[in-house]
Amino acid sequence: MYAAKKYMLPKLVRECGKCLSDGLNVDNVIHVLEHSLHLDDQQLQRNCLKLISANAKALLTGAEVLSASRQVLEAILEAEAIPVSESVIYETSINWAKHHIQSTMPGETPTDMQIREALGDLFYKIRFPSMKPTEFAEISVRNNVLTAEEKESIYYFLVTKKIVHPMRFPTERRKGEEVWVDRAVNCISTQWHTAPNVDAINFTTDHDILLTGIGLFTGYNGRGYDVDLEILQSADSLFRKRVTVPYTGDIEPFKIVLDEPILITDVVIYTVKALSNDSIGHYGHVCQPVCVKETVTFEFIRHAESRSTNETCGQIPRLYFCCL
């Protein structure tokens, strides 16, 4: 790619970028991102950051990121779509600084001041004001990487959402934080068909997202129920698990967290299928076939195997996701 750029061969540059993108995986993405930044290939950078977002927890808590360059860490800290809590991003930054200090001064235990100096302006890319108050309290009580004045300003913002002193930390949450879409508009509390019962719905989106969880209605008449939950793309199973949905007496859906976020590509049809082994206590009497959340439009479509659930009524009322 370097040679192709040097000798102005744009077609070869694109082919090199495609080859690198096709070969991306969690083991090499930090390394490839390093080169994409050096070569200023923005499409390859976007592909790297998308893969990092899809595997954010594993990559940000792994060893590979600790050896990354300052430029790579900056690209990650500036990314909007990172579906982990800001405290994970903070811990990654602190561990990166410690690693770089110890690589130049073996055996040294870095001080808070050394960590702050090692991070420099990168520290101001951590979004402390977007944290939950309890999350920030756990971080700030353990060390003095933040100054007393910075802590006071952030605490004040967390409580009042007002800025009283100049604050260099971004206050907006990352778009990659989890949200959900509800397709059920009107819900009824009553027995939803006898078990076993297959409820399934197809859906598409108009933007790439990370699917992080499925909301199902809870049990009936004081009992929970076991459900075999599956997510498919065509005939390929992307997730399959048996879980127990409790009886809560509440119409609020019960969240089933996916083991790992699933990348949902725009326009492609995906299926959520739930085989319940006991009665369900609620159903969506009126559901929307088209729902909009954040900047993402979901379209729900009837699935051939579903006995009762369809695009306008039934089970599977909620999808949890992160924007990309």
CATH number for the domain harbouring residue 291? 2.60.120.820
The answer to whether residues 201 and 295 belong to one domain is: yes
Q: What gap in Å lies between CA 242 and CA 228, rounded to an integer?
A: 4
Q: Please name the amino acid found at residue 207.
A: H
Residue where a domain stops, chosen among 127, 160, 193: 160
User: What pLDDT is attached to residue 210?
Assistant: 87
The answer to whether residues 141 and 249 belong to one domain is: no
User: What pLDDT is attached to residue 76?
Assistant: 96
Mean pLDDT of 229-237: 95
Q: Give the residue from 209, 195, 150, 186 showing the smallest Cα distance to 286.
A: 186
Omega before 196 within 30 of 0, i.e. cis? yes
The answer to whether residues 148 and 282 belong to one domain is: no
Mean pLDDT of 62-74: 95
Positive or negative, the CA dihedral 61, 134, 81, 36 is negative
User: What pLDDT is attached to residue 290?
Assistant: 97
- Please check whether residue 168 lies inside any domain of the structure: no
The answer to whether residues 119 and 191 belong to one domain is: no
Predicted confidence (pLDDT) at residue 273 exceeds the cutoff of 90: yes
CB 169 within 8 A of CB 156: no
Note down the domain range covering 280: 179-323
Question: 194 or 119: whose pLDDT is higher?
Answer: 119
Total structural domains within the chain: 2
- Please check whether residue 125 lies inside any domain of the structure: yes
Share of the chain above pLDDT 70, in %: 99
Residue where a domain stops, chosen among 160, 190, 209: 160
Question: 54 or 113: whose pLDDT is higher?
Answer: 113
CB 223 within 8 A of CB 245: no
Could you give the strand order of the β-sheet that contains 254-264, starting from the edge strand earlier in sequence?
179-182, 318-323, 209-216, 254-264
User: What pLDDT is attached to residue 122?
Assistant: 97
The answer to whether residues 8 and 45 belong to one domain is: yes
- Please check whether residue 173 lies inside any domain of the structure: no
Mean pLDDT of 241-265: 91
- Please check whether residue 169 lies inside any domain of the structure: no
DSSP bridge pairs for 262: 211
The answer to whether residues 220 and 289 belong to one domain is: yes
User: What pLDDT is attached to residue 194?
Assistant: 73
Check residue 43 and report its DSSP letter.
Answer: H
Assign 195 a pLDDT band (cuts: 50, 70, 90).
Answer: confident
User: If residue 88 lies in a helix (H) or strand (E), which one and from where to where?
Assistant: helix 86-104
59: left (phi over 0), alpha (psi -120 to 50) or beta: alpha
The answer to whether residues 283 and 217 belong to one domain is: yes
- Please check whether residue 141 lies inside any domain of the structure: yes
The answer to whether residues 128 and 65 belong to one domain is: yes
At 132-170, the pLDDT tens digits run 899 899 998 888 999 999 999 999 999 998 987 778 999
- Please check whether residue 313 lies inside any domain of the structure: yes
CB 152 within 8 A of CB 160: no
What pTM value is reported for the model? 0.65
CB 247 within 8 A of CB 278: no
The answer to whether residues 138 and 220 belong to one domain is: no
Residue where a domain stops, chosen among 160, 191, 220: 160
- Please check whether residue 225 lies inside any domain of the structure: yes
The answer to whether residues 247 and 156 belong to one domain is: no
Assign 55 a pLDDT band (cuts: 50, 70, 90).
Answer: confident
Predicted confidence (pLDDT) at residue 188 exceeds the cutoff of 80: yes
The answer to whether residues 109 and 220 belong to one domain is: no
The answer to whether residues 271 and 190 belong to one domain is: yes
- Please check whether residue 171 lies inside any domain of the structure: no
Assign 95 a pLDDT band (cuts: 50, 70, 90).
Answer: very high
